[in-house]
Structure 1
Amino acid sequence: MPFRKLAIATALATLPAGAALAGGFADEIVEAPVQIVEPVAPRGSLPGWVIPAVLVAGLVALAVSGDDSDDDEDSAAF
């Protein structure tokens, strides 16, 4: 019976030591640093000034091509 008490005492003594060493040899887990990536605004196919320039050119062409001159050939006969 003393052997049984000795076995129980030895088991109880080694239990905390086994738990303390559990996983002691594992590699340390190191997380990668967080990198904040700012989104880049997509560039359009045309610069911002092209469409207004085309509109202005169209209005100028419309104004130049207007036919409201007073020099008609039919009205030149006095």
Structure 2
Amino acid sequence: MKKIALAAALSVAATSAFAGGHSKMGKYSEPVIEPAVVVEETRASSGGIIVPIMLLLIVAAAVATR
């Protein structure tokens, strides 16, 4: 009878000792990786202003010839 009580006490102690170990593995989450920051250098170009200026000059030339 003492062996049964000792086995029961050890099994209760063992299950409570391992109870937290398995649940932590279930709650494992992926490590958070910050996205890489890509910095592009800007070029000083007037390409965005040339087309509208050329369009204005063409329109002004067309109006002046009438």
Q: Which entry has the higher C-alpha Rg, 1 or 2?
A: 1
> TM over 0.5: same fold?
no
User: If the length of structure 2 is used for normalisation, what is the TM-score?
Assistant: 0.42
- Whose helix proportion is higher, 1 or 2? 2
User: If the length of structure 1 is used for normalisation, what is the TM-score?
Assistant: 0.39
